[in-house]
Amino acid sequence: MKLILIVDDEIDIIDTFSMLFEVHGYDVIAASNGRDALALLDDRTPDLIISDCMMPIMDGVTFRRHVQQSPRLAALPFILMSAAPDRHDLSSITVNQFLKKPFQFDELIAIVKKMVPV
């Protein structure tokens, strides 16, 4: 099964996304901030990363920058999401998709299935 890493400090989002992706045939691992996500990436390599921007300890932009700098992880598809996109300087990173919260689950599933078919 394809593995998705979800990084978000809101447990409800992690729970909802986990159920959504598992129903669609994906395995899921999760972290509540970028630092914890980097620790997970030491042991596992997901097929896709979905991260929020605003999180404590390490935000999504900083987390993405770390992922981009890793030769092993740099090519992984990455979706970044935020309810306040204007509050983030995205000039130092690249992402495959940026989603403004709130968005429809159908939209997210369609994007994920294109990037990482089951």
> Can you give the pLDDT at residue 88?
67
Structure tokens at 31: 């972290």
Helix (H) or strand (E) holding 29: strand 27-31
The answer on pLDDT for 87 being more than 80 is no
Which tokens go with 26? 């994906």
> What is the residue-averaged pLDDT of the chain?
94
- Please give the average per-residue pLDDT across 63-79, as a whole number: 96
Q: Average of pLDDT values for 84-101? A: 83
Q: Is-above-0.85 flag for pTM?
A: yes
Q: How far apart are CA 63 and CA 54, in angstroms?
A: 11
- Tens-digit pLDDT profile for residues 11-66: 999 999 999 999 999 999 999 999 999 999 999 999 999 999 999 999 999 999 99
- State the pLDDT confidence band at 91, using cuts at 50, 70 and 90: confident
CATH number for the domain formed by residue range(s) 3-115: 3.40.50.2300
89 has pLDDT over 80: no
Specify the 3-state DSSP secondary structure of 11.
helix
What residue ranges do the domains of the chain occupy? 3-115
> In the chain, pLDDT over 70 holds for what percent of residues?
98
